[in-house]
Amino acid sequence: MSDQNIINFKDKAGNSINWRNYIKIGILLLLLAIVLIFTFTNLFIVKEGEYKVIRQFGEVVRIEREPGLSYKIPFIQSVTSLPKYQMTYDVSEAEINTRDKKRMIIDNYAIWRIEDPKKMISNARTLINAESKMEEFIYSVVRGELGQLNYDEIINDEKSSRGSLNDRVTERVNELLATDGYGIVVTDVRIKRTDLPEENENSVFVRMISERESKAQEYLSMGDAEKNRITAETDREVKEILATASADAESIRAEGEGEAAKVYNLSFSKDPEFYTLFRTLNSYKQTINGETVIVLPSDSPYARMLMGYTE
């Protein structure tokens, strides 16, 4: 028997064992890959500013609120996202009637957020439905509040009785949403614009112009009255100042004259003859001028003094 016809059974057995090991390793790797795929596909990340809603057979079973890594059961559970941050909703324009039966068009906007995702999904199902319900409540409350005010009180800021209307509307809308369990909260409701139907605009503009002109005339009248008051007050103060100054001048003049008299008396009392001479000379100064004619006896002291006799 030749060597070519001899079969080495040991080598065949060894090769068979090696293939079997490779198959086992391949199966293990495949199972590991499947496990990893299932693991990673059923993990999810909860981001900042969002809720993760886990549903099982269409029902909400869990809400993930905190940021981080979470999981779901494969094939059975599904994950959807809802916003956690505040959102702005532009409410549709609507027409209302005021207390005095006039029409107005109002335009609002609302700041809102989801507070309880489970309630929101249970009662509103979607964000669109939640916004629609919120808009319905806002319109109802605003219509009721503005319906208690007259037309002029709404459009005229100086006579407006709206006060904290936005706060009252926000509070009332939240009460209605909480009563029906919609799981959303309105942070603020604002009336951003109030318009008039076209057929009313002209008459309102004319009335507003008339009111402004009346107010301007009132301010002018108040200004004239204030001007007259200030002028009269100033004139009175000037008269008082002048009177006080005149009285002070008279008092000072009288004091000066009295002081001069004292000085004269003191000086003249020291030499009576000189005082007599001084007074006589003053009388000459007062009585004699270029046209004066004096008839005196020749022996009178006055004549003798004029003629130069001293004895």
Q: Are residues 183 and 100 in the same domain?
A: yes
Which residues have CB under 8 Å from 197's CB, separation 6+?
A: 95, 103, 104, 105
Q: What is the pLDDT of residue 283?
A: 73
Q: What is the pLDDT of residue 174?
A: 94
Q: Which domain holds residue 172?
A: 87-196
Domain final residue pick, 161, 196, 231: 196
Domain final residue pick, 176, 196, 216: 196
CA dist 37 and 31 (Å) reads: 10
Q: Is the pTM of this model over 0.85?
A: no
Q: What is the pLDDT of residue 207?
A: 74
Q: What is the pLDDT of residue 1?
A: 46
Is 130 within 8 Å of 120 (Cβ atoms)? yes
CA dist 163 and 152 (Å) reads: 14
Q: Is 5 left (phi over 0), alpha (psi -120 to 50) or beta?
A: alpha
The answer to whether position 237 is within a domain reads no
Low-confidence ranges of the chain (pLDDT < 70): 1-18, 38-40, 155-163, 197-204, 286, 288-292, 294, 302-303, 305-311
Q: pLDDT tens for residues 216-230? A: 998 999 998 999 999
Q: Are residues 93 and 28 in the same domain?
A: no
CA dist 153 and 151 (Å) reads: 5
The answer to whether position 27 is within a domain reads yes
The pairs formed by 32-37 with CB atoms below 8 angstroms and a separation of 24 or more are none
HSE value, Cβ hemisphere, 13 Å, CA-based, for 99 = 9
Q: What is the pLDDT of residue 117?
A: 92
Is 46 within 8 Å of 64 (Cβ atoms)? yes
Q: What is the pLDDT of residue 255?
A: 87
Q: What is the pLDDT of residue 25?
A: 82
Task: Tell me which residue has tokens 């002291």.
Answer: 301
